[in-house]
Amino acid sequence: MKKIISAVTFLLVAFGFTANVNAAVVTSVSTSNERVIIVFKNKADKNVVSKVRGNVRREYKNANVLSASVPTTAIKDLRDDPNVLAVEQDIIVKTNSQTVDWGVNKIQAPTAWSSSYTGKGVKIGIVDTGIANHEDLSVAGGAAFTSYTTSYLDDNGHGTHVAGIIGAKNNGYGIVGVANEASLYAYKSIRK
């Protein structure tokens, strides 16, 4: 009788342990997310992303496109949606070098730089949509001359682009501006 009780106890412990191990394996499987660009046939629809338990990362005003983070297993469902034209991986691209724009070469700015004409000590005011905080730009100050804000930070992009052409740092990445050591001042006067 002791042998039977010992055998039954052994089997219960063994099966109980196996069931717990299997349960642990099942609960440890996780769903990974992937960054994707979703192109819609008509209007971009955030509900399509919500249905697959994803999160919209960015909406685009002038395109039928969303950037989202979705479960990898849901990508096929997104592609099968009748309103979706395409689903592509959203790859983050960063440059490890610096570009000298054709215009900078055209006006022979590199020749001026070799003669120490880099804009150092020069103050340049950019009257435009403002200048955004950007790692390639040093903004010394500014002011807003608009009725809707007192901030000189760019809310359009144009002023920041102009600032880059004029004074992007010569730091080995991004672009380099014509007067890359000048002090930039943002004067926001154009509405978004």
Three-state SS letters, 48-61: HHHHCCCEEEEECC
Task: Please say which residue of 72, 89, 106 terminates a domain.
Answer: 89
Same domain (yes/no): 73, 155: no
pLDDT computed for residue 43 by the predictor: 92
Same domain (yes/no): 81, 103: no
The β-bridge relationship of strands 183-188 and 139-144 is parallel
Q: Is the pLDDT of residue 173 over 50?
A: yes
Whole-model pTM: value is 0.55
Question: What is the mean pLDDT of the segment spanning 93-117?
Answer: 90
Which pair of tokens denotes residue 185? Answer: 């001042």
Task: Please say which residue of 61, 89, 117 terminates a domain.
Answer: 89
Residue 47 resides in a domain: yes
Residue 16 resides in a domain: no
Its sign, for the CA torsion 98, 192, 124, 141, is negative
Q: Is the pLDDT of residue 11 over 80?
A: no
**CA–CA separation, 123 vs 181, rounded Å?**
10
157 vs 1, 14, 58, 160, 190, CA distance in Å?
85, 66, 16, 5, 11
Task: Please say which residue of 89, 113, 128 terminates a domain.
Answer: 89
**CA–CA separation, 87 vs 68, rounded Å?**
10
Same domain (yes/no): 107, 140: yes
Same domain (yes/no): 78, 132: no
Contacts of 65 (CB under 8 A, 6+ apart): 37, 38, 39, 40, 44
Same domain (yes/no): 124, 183: yes
Same domain (yes/no): 108, 83: no
pLDDT computed for residue 7 by the predictor: 43
Residue 27 resides in a domain: no
Residue 19 resides in a domain: no
Q: Is the pLDDT of residue 24 over 70?
A: no
**CA–CA separation, 146 vs 152, rounded Å?**
9
Residue 138 resides in a domain: yes
Which backbone phi and psi does 68 adopt, to 5 degrees?
-145, 160
In 3D space, the residue among 139, 164, 162 whose CA is nearest the CA of residue 151 turns out to be 139
Residue 170: give the domain boundaries: 98-188
Contacts of 164 (CB under 8 A, 6+ apart): 134, 136, 137, 174, 175, 177
pLDDT computed for residue 86 by the predictor: 95
Residue 17 resides in a domain: no
Q: How many domains does the chain have?
A: 2
Same domain (yes/no): 119, 149: yes
Question: What is the mean pLDDT of the segment spanning 3-16?
Answer: 43
Q: CATH code at 76? A: 3.30.70.80
Same domain (yes/no): 80, 105: no
Same domain (yes/no): 121, 70: no
Q: Which residue has the tokens 């890359």?
A: 180
Same domain (yes/no): 102, 175: yes
Question: What is the mean pLDDT of the segment spanning 136-142?
Answer: 96
Same domain (yes/no): 116, 78: no
Residue 70 resides in a domain: yes
Same domain (yes/no): 104, 184: yes
